[in-house]
Structure 1
Amino acid sequence: MRGLFNFIIFSSIYVACIAIVMIWQTNALLHVQNINRAYYFFVFCATMCSYNFHWYLTPADYSGSERILWGARHKNLQLGLCAVGAIGAMYGFWLLKAHWLALSGAAVLTFLYSAPKLPQKAFIWLRKIAIGKTLFLTTVWIYVTTVMPVLIEQIPYSHHLLLFALHRFFLVYALCILFDYRDLESDKKEGIRSLITWLSPRNLKKLYITSLILSALFALALYPVDNWLLTAVLLAPVLITTLITRYTLKTRSDHYYYFVVDGMVMLSSLLHFIIANI
């Protein structure tokens, strides 16, 4: 069972499912009737490709991380999943070719996140961008799970869509700060600058708390549009993330971070799905 759990988490199947559930919530909130299911397929495959590519490039020299060591033992598997994901993503891209410009934007953002790990000189300079790692990752998640469904379904802009996107952005940003804090030493050894290496601990704490507060405020601002139950669902991951912060900063467990902390990204989506199907 532990081996199966490791495979689901470390092969990025879990994180790909997180993306799918979040897209479902976006469509549900916007009351989309004729959902383009090809986009679900595209995102799942593209997530598998990009995350396995990212971890394939991550060296095991600088870390005792169980995930990185698992990846070092399963390089061929990661490369195979990356290839299969790429083939599936290309097929999904063809099915969604009418939206090629928006899809290309997602591809560029995703590539920029992993590009600093490439050894070529053209990409090494990206390691010096102080907030790039955090900002790119947050932006690509919001773009893929919140903005892209709107573009695919050609939904008109609305005030509550902006509030929802901002709520998600600041929640994901806060969670990325926790990951940056944990990866401080390995990032320094790899020469990758992240937000945590640039800000003082005091200012980083302020940014983290501010992000959670803004996420909660934007969720509360949606109350006049949606009912109190949905507002409570959106606030749930913000509250739980706040409560587990102290423990999160102390532990280095990969299983905790990649299951629990990553899970906070989709918690409101999962709760929303359960409530909608009761």
Structure 2
Amino acid sequence: MFRAFTNFLLFSSVYVSLCAILLIWQTNTILNLHPVNFDYYKFAFFSTICSYNFHWYLTPAAYSGSPRLQWGVRHKNLQLVFTIIGLIGAAIYFRDLKAYWLELSGAAFLTFLYSAPKIPFPPFTWLRRIAIGKTIFLTAVWVYVTNVLPVLLSGGHFTTQAVFYIVHRFFIIYALCILFDHRDLESDKKEGIRSLITWLSIPGMMRLYFFSLLFAAGFALLVCRDIITFYLLIPIVITAVLTKYTLNTRSDYYYYFVLDGLVMLSAFLHYIAVVA
């Protein structure tokens, strides 16, 4: 029963959708954004449910015997239902955010670019040839949805602190995406999906990875000079320490619980500190 619940939480993308909510909360809190548009939390949750289930619905299981892909094979209809539920929920809350339709369209466009190469029809298959591919698209989606849009929706300005924080988030998420792409290297090649990671040599990929972690740490130190900096640095340190293990494991539970958890770890620690 516990395994079934864990599989549902991770593989239905409910877990990663909650991660997105926490990151939006942290952006609002660190940058002191007012007023907070609470409908955006709901919109982001349902949008994440929709986009991730759509992505995995399109992902074939022929290239891997991973628990996530096998779960997806057994629950194709559930993934489709969650895609539809997410789309309906996002549409409902979009009505209250329609004044920001242009800003939200940017998020929809980036999300589409991430999953579009998996659609088995031209011209979508052409997107598989784009060299920077999914690593950049996925990072851009996460940063835009959880960091940039909260600033735009609050009517706030991109202060120096906001820019430092956004750049910090970009590099820590990009580093984690590199690890995911390294794991998916062979399946991406078989599907014909190109990315910067499939193009780089392993030493080149590792240089890019460690430079990303270094930049993430550097900009974290520029965001502020208090306990929040400590929260921002913890995921970077843990990611670096776990690098060797991460490169040598293909466990879905590790990647979709631990690595996805590292994306929102600073926000989780920050939230616990505020609540406590």
Q: Which among 253, 256, 259 is matched to residue 255 of structure 1? A: 253
The answer on whether the counterparts of 1:180 and 1:195 sit within 8 Å (CA) in structure 2 is: no
State how far apart, in whole Å, the 2-side matches of 1:168 and 1:219 are.
9
Please name the residue that 2:40 is paired with. 39
Deviations 1:146-204 (A, max 9, x none): 00000111112200000000000000000000000000111111111122210011111
> What residue in structure 2 maps to residue 246 of structure 1?
244
Give the distance between the partners of 2:161 and 2:140, measured in 1 at CA. 19
TM-score (norm 2): 0.98
Q: TM-score w.r.t. structure 1 length?
A: 0.98
CA distance in structure 2 between the partners assigned to 1:274 and 1:195 by the alignment: 36
Specify the alignment match of 1:196 in structure 2.
197
| 1:76-155 superposed matches below 5 A | 76-155=77-156
Q: Which of structure 1's runs of 4+ aligned residues deviate more than 3 A?
A: none
Separation (CA, whole Å) in 1 of partners of 2:149 and 2:106 = 10
The answer on 1:56 being equivalent to 2:95 is no
Task: Say if 2:110 and 2:137, in contact at 8 Å, map to a contact too.
Answer: yes
C-alpha distance in structure 2 between counterparts of 1:164 and 1:14, whole Å: 24
Shift in Å, 1:3: 0.4
The 2-side partners of 1:24 and 1:150 are apart by 12
Unaligned segments of structure 2, at least 5 residues: none
2:34·2:154 contact (CA, 8 Å) conserved in 1? no
SS in structure 1 opposite 2:123? Answer: helix
Task: Say if 2:33 and 2:151, in contact at 8 Å, map to a contact too.
Answer: no
Separation in structure 2 between the aligned mates of residue 68 and residue 153 of structure 1, nearest angstrom: 38
Output the CA distance in 1 between the equivalents of 2:258 and 2:200.
26
> 1:261: how far off?
0.5
Paired residue type of 1:92:
Y
How far did residue 15 of structure 1 move? 0.4
- In 2, distance between residues paired with 1:218 and 1:33? 24
| AA matched with 2:177 | C
Structure 2 residue identity aligned to 1:200: S
1:234 — aligned with what?
A: 232
Cα distance in 1, alignment partners of residues 33 and 215 from structure 2: 27
Measure, in 2, the Cα distance between the counterparts of 1:239 and 1:136: 24
Q: Alignment identity in percent? A: 59
**Distance across 1 between alignment mates of 2:219 and 2:251:** 31
Alpha-carbon RMSD across the aligned residues, in angstroms, is: 0.8
1:34 Cα deviation after fit: 3.0
CA distance in 2, matches of 1:33, 1:83: 32
